[in-house]
Amino acid sequence: MQRGWTEGEEDVGNFLQKVKDLLTDPNNLSIVQKTGIRDKTREFREKYGINHQMVCDEILRLDVSNYSYTDDDHNKEIGGEFLIFGQFILPPIVDKPVQVYIKLKIRGRVVCMSFHEAEFPLNYPYN
């Protein structure tokens, strides 16, 4: 159920470099807390004991091969687009990797809209 479109490999690399430059300070990572709807990121982090620094570390491990696709930010007031990545991580309380869906954008800082178990297969055009 992939949506959106594919960015060029160089564009994805440039985006990730900006992310890594910003995350030299973990305070430049904003993990969005959703209210009024189910917050899959919060549920996932609580289930597996994943803290802010762990999310930051996993984002720093991303490379172009983790990129899946780009999609619009459907919040009309903010606009722009998100880049979607997939990453296998080993949460602290389990002994097998979990595929995580990671949805990022940059707005002066790194905004992580989603960091939770992938709910559908992700394609990786640069893997």
pLDDT per 10-residue tile (average), the chain, 127 residues: 78 97 96 88 95 96 97 77 95 89 96 95 94
CB neighbour list of residue 26: distance below 8 Å, 6 or more residues apart: 52, 53, 56
Supply the pLDDT for residue 94: 83
Token digits for 80?
């722009």
Supply the pLDDT for residue 100: 97
Supply the pLDDT for residue 93: 82
Supply the pLDDT for residue 91: 86
Among 69, 61, 52, 50, CA closest to 1? 69
d(CA 103, CA 32): 10
Supply the pLDDT for residue 2: 54
DSSP H or E segment with residue 88:
strand 81-89
Supply the pLDDT for residue 3: 67
Supply the pLDDT for residue 74: 73
β-strands 29-31, 67-72: how paired?
Answer: unpaired
Supply the pLDDT for residue 76: 67
Supply the pLDDT for residue 49: 93
Among 106, 120, 102, CA closest to 59? 102
